[in-house]
Amino acid sequence: MSDRKTRKNLKRQTKVLLLLAGVLVLLLLAGTLFFTIPVDWRTDAVIITEPARIYSSAPVLNQDTTLGSQTKPYVTTDTESLDQLKIEMVAVQGGTFSMGSDEKSDFPRYFDDGPVHQVTLSDFYIGKFEVTQALWKAVMGSNPSSFKGDNLPVENVSWKDVNLFILKLNSMTGKQYRLPTESEWEFAAGGGISSKHFKFSGSNTADNVAWFDQNSGNKTHPVGSKTANELGIHDMSGNVWEWCSDWYRKYFENAQTNPKGPSSGYDRIRRGGAWNFDAYRVRVTFRDLENADIGSSTCGFRLACDIK
């Protein structure tokens, strides 16, 4: 009888020990995952898992405050960090413009392109070109793009990827680059205060200024290879969609000054159309949205920064 009780006790103890061992293994696995996931699920904040590169001094910038298409390149000369790559920015003089489209235009208005409303903007800089793969590689050390080429626009980058790039670029240059707001993007694409009110960025004929489904050959093309708009800015129609800083929301009729978009939302704004989209979607006023975690071969970005 005592042997039977002993065996039962041993079995019970064995089960307890196995259970405790299983719990310990699960805790170890959970701990490993917690410390290796690159996004903090508690705050949805991007975690940098590699040490930042340190530079002995900030780069010297050649900045000309002349506004419009005559501006000189806003160029970094930090050869250690950017390998002599130029970041050319066009100074855009602020003003008041009519944002959005109305139903009287030659193209029917898309459901969220209106109503037309007045927006007033301060002066700002915006990239003369879309960010290239060469610049992305110089900052990030890798190239996620589907179509490879140093002078092609970088693509396959999510909104969150882009903001990590900008964080690193600012650390390397000592500048305060950012994404343009949606209103800054449309104002610059439309030619700013020099606007001739073209449908596309710089022309009423898409083929003159844009790479889109009718002329792209199903691929991206080197930045700046199409005619610039009134401000000397290239590729704001077609080639790749461009991320803006704003969360998406519908337009309102009330006038706004330097709008930043809503403080929260579900998707981020992107503008400009892309190589595989039709002419309707490469119009200056066309709006699109995408999840901030998603990148694709149709979407890239350009830089902006404040004029101080």
Encode pLDDT of 23-48 as tens digits. 666 666 555 443 333 333 222 222 22
Q: Higher pLDDT residue, 17 or 55?
A: 17
Residue 9 has pLDDT above 70, yes or no: no
pLDDT tens readout for residues 68-118: 333 333 333 333 346 567 899 999 999 999 998 876 666 666 657 778 999
- Give pLDDT, residue 114: 77
Q: Whole-model pTM?
A: 0.74
Residue 126 near residue 191 (C-beta atoms within 8 A): no
pLDDT tens readout for residues 200-220: 999 999 999 999 999 999 999
Once rounded to an integer, what is the mean pLDDT over residues 268-286?
96
